[in-house]
Each structure stands twice: as C-alpha cells, then as structure tokens.
Structure 1
Amino acid sequence: SDSHSKCHELCFYLRLSGEKDGVIEITSRNGYLYLNGSLDRESKATHRLQVEALNEAGVKVKGPYSITINVQDINDNPPKFDKSKYYGAVWENSRSGKPFMYVSATDHDDPTTPNAQLSYSILHHFPNPYNRMLFQIDNITGAISTRSRVLNRQKQDTFLLVVTVKDLAGMSENALTSNTDVEITVKVNIWKAPPKVSIKENSTEPHPINITQVHWNEPGAKYELLQKEKLPRFPFTIDQNGTIYVTEPLDREEKELYSFFATAKDGGEELGRPLPIYVQVEDINDNPPVCQNALTIFEVQENEGLGSNIGTLHATDMDKENTINSRLQFRIVEQNPKIPSENLFIIQQEAGTFQLSSSSLNKRVVSNYSVMVEVTDKVFTTLCDVKINVIDINDQIPIFEKSDYGKCTILEDTPVGEVILEIQATDADEPFTGSSQIIYQIEEGDQNKNFIINTDPETNRGFVKINKVLDFEMSSTYNLTVKATNPEPLVHGVQYNSSSIAYFRVVVADVNEVPVFSKNTYIAPILEDVSVGTLVMTVMANDPEGDPIRYTLESNKRNWLRIDESSGAIYTAAPLDREVEYEYKVQVTATEQNKTSQRSTAVFILYIKDVNDNPPRLAKGHHLFFCHPLRGGVRAEIQATDDDEQLYSPEFTFSLGDSENIKSDWEISRIDGTHAYLSPKHTNLEEKYYSIPLIINDNGKPPLEGNLNLQVNVCRCSDEQRCFIEVEKHSGMPSTGMAVGILLGVLIFIGRMEKKPGSEFATARETLYIRSMFKPLKSLFPCNTFI
C-alpha cells in the first residue's frame, strides 16, 4: 500500500490538447510528439498545442505548457493562371515596349520563399510571318508588349502566344510550371496623320477655327502640339478631343506652309509616334501692285523707228507667284506733253514693255515726256511714273586725247585695286546720255584679266586698276590695247575707228619674294622604336626668284629631329618616346642663302605611334598589410597599369613567382583586366613582413612582363583596422619642457613626412605612432590645444 501510495504521488502521464487536427500525437509516458498523418502548410501553417502532466488519478500536476509548431513550406503547389485562356488586342504599328495586356498566375506556396516567386515567359508564337519574335513579356509582372512597330493587320490579324509561368523564380530545373494560351487580335490603328489642311489667308471668320482632328485608339489620351521650327508665334492649339484649331488669321506672305506635330500622351509618356500636321495657307488677292522704282527713266534716240523697244516698266505683286492673284496688266493713262501727237507710245499689256507708235520724235521740239501707267491685278490698281528722255542720235565716236600712253612700270606686289594709270577720251554727243557715255575695254594683251578700267560717269575719265595679283616670274610685260565705246549704238553709217583706240605698256618690276612651302603644315606618323637617323619626311620650299634655300628647325625642344639644310629631308636625331610626347611639333624655316631676311616657315607635326615598350606596373604602391591573427577570406586588391597606349580595355595577367614557399602561403586571383586580389591561403602566417614576387604580363605584341616585389606586413591592428605599433612606456608623466620638446619633434617629423610622402602602409604606421605620442600630453595642455 505504501508503494501504491508513492506511485500515486510520483507517477504521471502526458496529455496533448489544442490544434492537433488529428495528425499530431504525443506518447504519454516519454513525451515524444509524432505525426499520425501529413501536414499541409497551405491548409494550416501553424499548430498551437498545449501539454499537461497528469498523475495516476488524472489530476493535473504540471502545465499546461504551450507548444507552437510552424509548418515549413515545400514547393508542392504549381503556379496556376487566373484564366484558362486570355484575349487581348493590340493596335497595328503601336509603340514597342508599352504593355497592352497582362497575364497573372498565383502559387499557394509560401510567398516569402522562392517557392512562390513566379517568372513568366513566352514559350511559343503562332504564326510568325516576320521570322522574329514580335511580342515580349515582363517576366515579373506578366505585362505583354510588342518588340517593334511592324504589326500589320493586312499581313496577319491574329496571333496565339503560349505563355508559361514557373515558380522558384524560373531559376531551377525543378521549378513547377503552368501554361496558358493568349489570343491577340491586331486592330486597325486610327492614330494616323490627317491630310494636309488648306486655309485661306486673312480669314475674317471668328477664331479659333476647327481645321482638323487626330484620334488616339483609346479614350483618355492627352494631346499636345509640338513645333517643328521656332516661330515668333505659334497660331495653333489642340483640345483634349484631339481637335486642332487655328487661333488667328494667317498671312501667306508671312508664311505659306506650317509644319508641326501632334502627340498623344498618357501620364507624360507618348503613346505613339508623333503625327506630322501640315497647314497650307492659300493665297487671296490682298496685295496691290508695287512699282519697282518711284520714277522709271528711259532714253530714246530721236531717230528711233516705229515699233522700237524703249524699255520695260517693272512692277511686283506680293501675292503668290504665277497665279491669277499676281498677274499684272499695264495701260498708259496719260502722256505729257501730247505733242506732236497724243499716243506717241504704246505699252505691252502683259509685259510692260514700251514701244514707239510713230517715228516723229524731235529733241528740239520736246526733250522729254512724262507718262503715267496704270498697273492692275484686277482687284488693286497702282499708278507708276515713267520719264522718257529724247536724246541726240549717237553720231559721234569717242576720241582719245592721245593714242599712246607709253610705259607704266609697277612692282609685282602692287595691291589689287590700285590705280596705275588714268586715260581720257571725249565724245561730242549730248552730255550725260548713252550716246556720250564712254565704256573702256581692254581689247588685246590681257587674256587673264589682270587689269580692269572703271569710268567716272561725270568726266568719262578712265582709271586702269590691278584686278589680280601680278607675278613677275609669270609675265613681266603687258602690251595693252584699249577701245572706247558708247552704250548706245552708233547711227547707221558711223563706225568706230583708230581715234577710239589707245595703247600703253605695263612693265612689272621684280620683287624679291620669300620662299614658299608646298604646304603650311606637314604631318608624318612614325613608330616610337625607329632607329636614330630614320628619314621621316622631306619638306619642299621654292623661291620665286630661284635663289638657293637653306632649311633649319626651330622649337625642336627635345632635339628628336634634324634636317638636311640643302634637301629639307627630316631625320630622327634621338630615340623617340611616345609616353613622353606623342605629338611632337617643330617649325621648319626656309631661308634664302643670299638674303637671310627672306624667310618663311611651316609647321611639321610628328605623330609618334606606340609600340609595346613599357612593362606593366602597379598603379599604386607596393605595400599591403593584413591584420594578425588572420581571418579566413581576407584579401587585398591590387591594380595594374601600363604606360603604353591602350586602344582597347587593357588585359593584364597576374601570377606569383616560382617560389614554392610563396605559392604555398599566398595566392592571386583575377578580378578583371586590370585588378586582382592577393590573399593568404591559410591563417597560420606569422606576424612579420613578407616580400612576395609578383609577375604582371600585358597583352601587347610582343607581350612584356613586369616583375616586382610586393611588401606585405602581417601585423597587429588597432581598432581602426590599421597596423598598430606599441610605443615604449615611460615611467611617470613628462614635464612641460619634455612635452614641448616632444610636440616640436612631432611637428618637425610631420613636416618631413609631408615633403617626402611614403607608401600607404608606411603612412598609416607613422600616423598611429604620432597619435600614440600625443597621449601623454593630454594632461599638460587643454583639450583645445589638440583640436
């Protein structure tokens, strides 16, 4: 009974309650939880249980205690599309990359895990008349868009896409998938440019006026107009229905054709390509004829015959050319005086050309006539004034004051336009008329038109000028024959004779000219590794007088070149180095040997082409450090460079020296063409300096190799992860004098450091050492002393 009583107090069993769902059980004596079925996270992700300890009498002695069981997800649910088949529509020639429909799938697995991360793709595309994928899908959002603007409803109006979705973000072969069909219809794109609009100018209708309209394929688009050219004012606007208006009357004479663009946007993004809009301004007859001159003057000889042309009256009209609006007609409305008859002149109605209606002009009776002409375009009329001067007949020829003007000597460098000779002829006809006006022409001796003669209209004096640059070496003498004539023809029976002809000779005197180079700038490429004495180029200069020339070089600052004084041949005089200077520019001087003041210069540019003559090197210092004790995965980055020209991205290869000890402790790994990592192979390296041989090869032809030693310090580090060197401890605090001495010494040391920069590692050590030296001084100086 005692044993039974003791068991009644100490023996117990366990009871499980809560969300067991019939699948979670417990062994009552030892407390093992076990599954009596399978769990399903999608049905229940968390099970909350309670456990109690009961004695043999069924009385609770402990508990209850809470137990929470979280069911971890496995990828046991394939993704499923929301629809078994999707239908979409796209406009032909629509903008590529803009989604026109979406597909969507769901996955019942845990959304916080890759099991429910979905990726969309297009599996098949039917049909494919363009032999390339026309559609694309955003693998994250399921947005479908076109890849280009080639869709054409007439060529193919429907497509079927097979779209697949994968879980595990599509990154695993074990991903679960589902497919769906997407049927796409190509719809007619109504976003098209309207025909050219024609508007009559100077419209009196109330503005704005509706002139055309554009439509986007779907409602809700916002329309804008874009100017194609910058105008002082832009007389067009568009409303949100796509209706385009002209806001004010237009003037064809100001601008005949307007060209601009209409765009449709959704939230600032263009929905389609801009449409060109053309507005043609139609002409109306709104401009009167305009006389070209306020007074038009004609001359007519008194012996002119019936029907002779006197001249043409010119008028213009700003309306559109070659249209009825700019067609002009002429009519004489008044003639003064009206003697010897009222209608002495007639005018061609369409051309405005005056003709004589009789041969009864007599200068002694009437010397000039005033004629008023009406010019009309059928709407507007303008009156033009014409004066007709009756002039004496041209029965007198010009006569030179002398037939031979002798010799005229000039220097060959006489400037163009300078007068070298004055000549004079006279005419006995009526002054200041076409019968007495004189024109001088060089008849012989000047085939190249080196000279020109201008006439003073008041005095009929001729001025012989230089028309082109003269050259003694080309021609030293010109024997010129000059003829004097009138603009009006001579009367019948009168002819020009020897009295209207004069002669003179122009002698060109030689001027000693400077040598002339064949070019102002000479350019020669050359490789930088050519041997000294290589011929680079020969420059040439000619002296117009044929004097011998001596060549020299100036600004030859590096003395890389020399020139043959006689031939102008330029040679290399020293080794070239593109890395020092790739464009070497000197001045070549050509000097007449007989007259050193006569000299000219040209520029010679030597473009030095690169060869692979510089081995790779490190872009920064050779010193690295690692903190001791070493941790796994530590590494230090190094960068290589090369002084040679890099036409493309440099490609360097990195390797360690042949020492087995080095290779057993260190390794180098490539990052890219210029960078690599140096890392220890294990963490058992001692705290000391290591000298690591490094080999860097470039990709030149032939390649070059750079050999150097990396200085690596494995050291104890401070909290700032820099090598730390402990300073010697001092007994007692330093005196003020000692502190000042230490401070001055440190400042002197810092000054030396600034004058002689060291490696990164050395600088870090020195900085830490200085900081440690300042610590004993804190008690001697106020804090702001160290700020």
Structure 2
Amino acid sequence: MVKVRLLFFLLGVIGPGGGTLLYNGLPSTTTVQENTPAGTKVYTFSVNSTRALTVPPTIINSSPLTKAFRVDFSPPQYNVVTTGTPPLDFETMPNSFELQIYMEDDSETTELQTLTVQLTNVNEPPVFLGSLANQAVTIYIVEGSPKGIIYQVLASDPEDPANTLKASYSLTPSSPFTVSSTTLGDIESTKIFDYETDQRSYPLTVTVTDSGGLSVNGSLTVFITNINDETPYFITTTTSFTIPEEQSPGTILTNITAVDPDAAGFVSTLYYSINTPNQYFSINQLTGVIQIAKRIDREADPFRLNPVITIDIKVTDRPSAGQSNYTTLTITIQDINDNPPLCKKYAYSKAVPETETNGALIIDLSNECTDIDVETQYNIFNFTGLSGLGSNERFQLLPSGSGRIVLTGNLDYEDPNNIGVGNEYSLTVKVQDIAYPYYSQNIYVYVKTIPINEYPPVFNSSSYVFNISELAPPSTKVGQVYATDADYPYIGITYKIVSGGSTLQTSSIFWMNPTTGALLLADYADYETTRQYQLVVEATDSGSKTSTCSVTVNILEANDEKPICTPNSYTLSVPVDQATGSNIQNFKLTCTDRDSGYTSFQYFINSGNVNNHFTLSPSAGSNISRLILANPFDYTNGVDKIWNYKLMVDITDGNVISGSPQPIGIVQTGTVTLYINVYIPGLTTTTTTTTPSVIYVVSSKNVYSDSAWYVPFVATVGALLLLGFLGLLGYLIAKYCPCRSSPKPDTEML
C-alpha cells in the first residue's frame, strides 16, 4: 500500500474514489528573512476537496532536509510557518528549500505539491563570543600587577565572519582602562593599582560596532584584589605584668592588640599566637586576649628559682604564609601564703620502754615538717596545742612552740596509776603558719609503752605430786602446773619438761602442754617396771626468764596382767573305768601373775565338759590346780557318747583370799586347752604315759603381696591336679588288683 501511494504521489493521479482533491495556490515559490522567529507565516494556501481529509496537508519531505517549517491549519486556509528549530540563518543554512506537501481524503485520493521557500539575508549586529555572549564578566587584578592586557573581547559580525570590514571597539569609561587600537578587543590597564589607596572596583561597558553601524554592548567589572604586602604592628604598650600565683585557669591577663594596614582597620584579619613553647598561658587567635591556661605554682620548678615567664606573641595577617610581627611579654609570678606546713607524716608511732627516764625525747617534729612557700614571711611555723591522753602529765612540748615532745611522767606498766589504754597514749600537736591565713595541720603521735621483762615466772607451788593408774591410756591428763608472771601485760608463759620421765623404750612417757602446763601421758606407764617418776618442769616467760619446779608422778598399780599357766595346752588319756576323785594322769596346772598373789587365782572349765566328768581342784585360792575325774563314764547305758574331749579352762586373778585390797583394774583371764581321750583298757596296745610338758604352739601366717597373687593360685591348681591323679591311681588299683582281703570283726569301740 505504501508503494502504491508513493506512485500516486509521483504521478499526481486522482484516486479510485472518484472525488476531487486539489491545492489552491500550490505549487508556488515564496521568500522568508533569516532569523525569523518561530511561528512566522511563510505562505498561505487552500484545499478543494469533495470528500473528508484523512491526511491533512503535511510536509513529508524537503530538499535539503530540514525541520524549520511546518503546516498549520487556520480555517478556511493552511499556513506554512517557521518552527524556530533550527533558527533560519542565511550565513549558515542553504538559501532555498523545496517543501513537498501531501494530503489524502477518505476515498484514498491523494495530492502532492511543492512549495519553494527562498531565504533572504538581513544585516545583523555583531555578537559577543565566549563569556560575554551570555553574561557580565568579572575581572580580578592583583594589586601591584604591571600595566597591560587584562581581558580580550571576542566578537563576530554574522555578515562579516572574517572581520574583513574591521568592526570598531570602544570602552566606557576610558580610564584607567582602554581598548587596544592595535589588537582589536584587547582591554588594557593604564596604571599599577594599590589596594590600600585606589578604587577597589571599576564597572566597564565595551561596545562593538560593525560596518553597517549596528553595535552590541557588554558589561565588565574589574576588582582590585588585595595582597599581603603590609606588616601588621602592635599598638599595645604594656609588656610587663606581675600576677599572684594560683590564679584560676581562664583568668584574663591582658589583651594584645595589633593593626594590619592591609586590612584597613579590620582586626578580624589578624591572627595571634604564642610563638614560644608555653603551657601556662593561651591566646585567643582572633581577639588577642591572653588568659591563664594552667595553675601556676610559685613553689614548683622552675618558678621556685626563677619566677619570671617570658613569652613571645606573634601576629600574622594570614593563617599561614602571611606578614608577621612579634612582641615580648614578661610576667612575674608573685608568691602568696598558699601552703600549710608539710610534714613527712601526719601520724607517728613511737615505742618507748616502760623504764624510760623523765626528760627523754620522744620525738622532734621540727625535723619532720617544712613549709614550701618561697617568701620568708610565708614559710615560718610553730607547734602548739599538745593535747590528748597523758598530755601535760606525762608529755610536754619543751621548749614551748618547738616540736620536741619530752617525757615528763611515769610509764611503768605495773604502776596502777598508769591511765593509758593498753599503755598507749594518743597525742595531738598542731603545726601552724605564723602568717595569714594561718594554715595549720594536726599531727598525731601515738606513744606505745614497751613492757620490759623485769620479773621471772613464779610457780604457785615449788613441787607437785600427781597419781596416775598404770592402765591410763596415752593423752590422759596426769595433772597441771601453773605459774604467774608479775610483768604486765601478761603475754604468756610456756612450760616444758626439763628432765625425768624416761624409760628403756622412750625418752619420756610424759608430754607437757607448753601453753597450759597440763601434764599428759605420752605412753603407757608400767607399775611393775617403774612405780614413780621425778620430773623437773621449767616455766619461761616472753623475755626468756625462767623458773623450775619438781613434779612427782606416782604410778598406781592396776590388774593389767593375765595369769600365765603351764602347760597351756596338753593331751591326756583316761581309761573308761578311771576312779572318780582321782587325779587324771597326775596332771596339774602351775600359774603365775605379775600383779596378783598366788591365792588370787580361780579356775573354770568354760566349755567341753560334757556331763561334768572333769573338775579342777582346788578351783580357787592357789596357783596350782589338778585335773580330777568328778563323775564316772557311762557308755553302756548310752549316757556318754563322746570319747574325745576338748576342755577350755579359764583362769582368773580376781579371787582375793588374803583379804588385801584388790588392785585397781579389771579381772584378767588366762586360758588353757586340754585334750582328753577316753579309752577302754585292753583294746589298745599302748597306754599314753606322757609326762606333762610345756607345748609351744607356733602360728604361721602366709603373708604375700597383692602383686604376687599367682603364688596361691598356682599352688591351688597344682594341689587339685595332684589329688585328681591320686584318685585316678587308686581307682585303677582297686579295679585291677586280683587279691582282696576277707572282712574281719571290729576290734575298735563303737
């Protein structure tokens, strides 16, 4: 369809709809001036059409191509107008345009005609190029700069781009600047400017006129800029100051003022600083106010030796790289009485023996205190106001006002009139300046009385007698000694055994508590070995003074030994028809006791005496007793069935026949074991006639280490294997042996 329509355009054919579509006034040629503003009417035409237009008249192509024109409809006609984009410029654009205007109705009938637009030239004024083309120009000239070109005006004439006609330049005002006559557009300065004396700014108007008399004006402003070519100077005349020490930080010392000729009196352009190293003063860099920055102590170094501070003040008219000037300030620090007397310590503790004599110096405080104020009138002090427990009675400042505390009373610990709490005295002395404001400090002196060991300990008895049973176990208290010491305060007495108490087994069976004096057993005592001990006990006080006393310890006898009888184990044989009341096999027990008499023994058959066949005679009151058959045996009637007896005989030492007091202690018991075999005479070929003798029973105990567990294990396994082998051997002999004996009648008792 597009190709068909294009063909219609080229041939000017009336479309198939059969309608009429014609331009009135086209084709045609028209003219327009350059620089015509947008919307300027270039040409007017109308349209004849019997049908409705679907495409109104439209510029579809131009030669050369441009968007500088468009078709506007203003019923009943159409206008070709400028668009302003791009602007029509005779010097830069083609001078003629061929505009193809196309339209179409609803029957698809089309029409295409050409409008030729010719561009005509118009004389234009010159135009500025560069910065002056859009705005006013500001120019800065540094003071002191040499004469010469300060700016070049760039301009152009649209009709004379090459400036062959030489446009003219003029400048208003014409002084102190001018436009160069040799180099077009160059603006030159005609003098050297001084910021401090000359005008600071110059408004200028430059005019460019072309050969046709058209001109254009541009605005320039020239500013003279200041440079730092003047040195500021101080106008403050006072440079020496005297200030007291201890001023508060922030206190204003003075205000230093300087003037800068460059700044025309504006002090804000000046910057102040302290040029020498300094920590005690600061300066406001804008105002020049000098303040104390840190507490100044006249007594501290370096001011104690040299109270003068010198500082250099620097003023600069720029923060950096500016013109500078200097002045020197001298500040003298004045001493004030701002320090109380200082002492090495404010609490002293002095130990004084209780035997110290009157007039003895306790402490000299004048050597302990100083006043660091520099001036003499401020560093003198004295001591006053001695107070506290014991002051003026036992202690005084001698001479008055000095710091010498002297003993003037009695410090005896044993003196009941001594009122010190624990014989400690708390004294207060005031050390005070003699100048206003009379600074003072309290010094506390604690005097502690040292007790002297003047007296030895004294026992409350020169000798002690104690009794203790031989049965008492170790740690049993035997008795207690006690000593006193006349020295006060009582610090303590220690006790020890000097001699006595030794035995064959140990150096002493006694131990004495060193603090309480209690005498205790360290081991068992044995009355039968040693019945009495003589001890020497020593008491020692804290000062190593000693005294002694004698201590007698009587060991009281106690029944602590068991009866020992021989034999203590024996085997007897007795015929079944033994006569009652007879001594069995002439057996007898012979007993002894280390702590009992021969008549104190008692005999008991504790076990094994079935049917009471046996007795011991005598049963008490003798150290010898015989075994007697008390009741006959009766096996025939079945009364007796036991043929072997084991008698356990107990022998006690608690029987007192003589009437003497029984020893202290419990009843002790010895034990004898008797083995008795009853036999039928005639059934045995051998009669036991063993003479009684002492039988020693030795008990062996296998002790082995836990690590040797394998010894009993191997022995047990070996024994089991041996028993198994013997059993197997007996079984084989019994099974395969050909001879067997015939049974015989019993010859043994049933």
Instruction: Provide TM-score, normalisation by structure 2.
Output: 0.30
TM-score by length of 1: 0.29
Structure with more contact order per residue of length (Cα contacts < 8 Å, sep ≥ 6): 2
